[in-house]
Structure 1
Amino acid sequence: MKFLHSVTLSHTNLTGYLPKHWHPNLTIVDLSGNNLKGKIPLSLTRLENLVHLNLSSNSLNGTIPTTFGDLNALQNLSLASNSLSGSIPESLAAVPGSFVQML
């Protein structure tokens, strides 16, 4: 799957935890509306080409990784309707042209 760029598995009743390893060419990840739990893995913040990340409406917990601010290509990040704690990282304000939805 060396040409994989998009993963959309929204509202499919997925359960369990987010994977620790991701295909490096991904530009779109949409796992919204599932029953995923646990913390957001730091490996997601290493996807240099990631443009759209939607993890809303799951049961994710823990804090938002500060390294999301390192994703220069990121344009849309939705983490709404989870059980995340802590503050919104200041590094997200540095992402050019991004739209962040947290609530």
Structure 2
Amino acid sequence: MQAPVMPTEIRVDRAGRRLEIRWSDGLVGYCTFEDLRWNCPCAVCQGEMGQPGVLSQTTELTPEQTELENIWQVGYYAVGLAWKDGHDTGIYPFELLRRLCRPE
């Protein structure tokens, strides 16, 4: 069985408004803060129990919604992100980060 591809380093580039990620298979890429916020996997953003998420009701994000305040590791499978607007319930699995990751 092949080992899962994992981040070996995640660096916050505030000036570039992105996460720079180095992966265990050698890929180096980035995820923009805007892409991360649009793809927040939490129930508030994506919806739950037949109710639409808040992101489905807007076409534009505010500057506060895309300004990263904090990042922390969640177990061995994800990171949590907190945004300047106070939103902090999104847990981003490494698989999602990899899908959003653009090659450097």
Shorter chain as denominator, the TM-score bin is under 0.3
Normalised to the residue count of structure 1, the TM-score between the two structures is: 0.24
Normalised to the residue count of structure 2, the TM-score between the two structures is: 0.24
Of Structure 1 and Structure 2, the greater strand share is in 2
Larger Rg: 2
